């Protein structure tokens, strides 16, 4: 049983971590996440709202970090699903 559940657990884990990052960033942006001494991407975006027109890079870099991290985890989960799921085996070109 264990070899058959390792694949789905890895896939769900990577997608769950990506969702947790988005949830934490959204809650911190709204002020409901971690408190200001603790750094978080959502808190950085929330603090950068006041300087959006004078210094936009302050909000661009945390946004890019969230985007790249979540996209990377989703692509990792999709790649693991393609490799580990025997039901969706497709013919691979060599």
Which pLDDT value is given to residue 36?
80
Question: Does some domain include residue 21?
Answer: yes
Question: Does some domain include residue 56?
Answer: yes
Residue (of 93, 90, 71, 70) closest to 82 by Cα position: 90
Which pLDDT value is given to residue 89?
60
When divided into structural domains, the chain yields a total of 1
Question: Does some domain include residue 1?
Answer: no
Which pLDDT value is given to residue 24?
94
Which pLDDT value is given to residue 39?
86
Where are the alpha helices (H) located in the chain, listed in sequence order? 2-30, 41-47, 57-84
Tens digit of pLDDT per residue, the chain (94 long)?
677 788 888 888 999 999 999 999 999 999 888 888 888 999 999 989 888 899 888 889 999 999 999 999 999 988 888 887 766 666 555 4
Which pLDDT value is given to residue 94?
46
What is the extent of the structural domain holding 46? Answer: 6-85
Reported as half-sphere exposure (CB side, CA atoms, 13 A), residue 38 has a value of: 10
Question: Does some domain include residue 11?
Answer: yes
């Amino acid at each position: 049983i264990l070899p058959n559940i390792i694949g789905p657990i890895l896939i769900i884990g990577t997608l769950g971590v990506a969702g947790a990052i988005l949830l934490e960033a959204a809650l911190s942006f709204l002020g409901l996440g971690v408190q200001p001494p603790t750094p978080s991407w959502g808190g950085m975006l929330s603090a950068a709202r006041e300087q959006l027109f004078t210094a936009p890079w302050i909000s661009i870099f945390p946004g890019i970090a969230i985007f790249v991290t979540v996209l990377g985890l989703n692509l990792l989960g999709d790649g693991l699903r393609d490799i580990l799921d025997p039901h969706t085996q497709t013919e691979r070109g060599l």
